[in-house]
Amino acid sequence: MAAETSSRPGDTGDGAGAPVTAPILGTPDDFPERPRARGRRRLLANVVIGLLVTVMAGGWGYVMMAARGNPDVRADVITYDASVSDSAEVTFTVHKPADSEASCRLRAVDVYHTEVGSKEVALPAGRSDLTLTERLKTSAQATSVVVQYCDLV
CA distance 104 to 123: 8
Residues 54 and 95 in one domain: no
Residue type, 132: L
Residue 45 included in any domain: yes
3-state helix, strand and coil shares in percent for the chain, rounded to the nearest 5 = 20, 35, 45
CA-nearest of 103, 108, 99 to 77 is 108
Question: Considering 68, 86, 109, which residue would you say is the last residue of a domain?
Answer: 68
Residue type, 57: A
Q: How confident is the model at residue 47 (pLDDT cuts 50, 70, 90)?
A: very high
Question: What does the pLDDT read at residue 70?
Answer: 59
- pLDDT one-digit tens code per residue, 127-152: 989 999 999 999 999 999 999 999 89
CA distance 72 to 131: 17
CA distances from 99 to 11, 39, 151 (A): 88, 57, 14
- pLDDT one-digit tens code per residue, 65-119: 777 665 688 999 999 999 999 999 999 999 999 999 999 999 999 999 999 999 9
The parent domain of residue 147 ranges over: 74-152
Question: What does the pLDDT read at residue 153?
Answer: 84
Residues 61 and 96 in one domain: no
Question: What does the pLDDT read at residue 15?
Answer: 56
Residue 115 included in any domain: yes
Residues 140 and 92 in one domain: yes
Question: What does the pLDDT read at residue 33?
Answer: 75
- pLDDT one-digit tens code per residue, 7-42: 455 545 555 667 877 777 878 777 777 776 677 888
Question: What does the pLDDT read at residue 14?
Answer: 56
The alpha carbon torsion through 25, 29, 31, 33 (nearest 10 deg) reads 150
Determine the number of helices (DSSP H) and then strands (DSSP E) in the chain.
1, 6
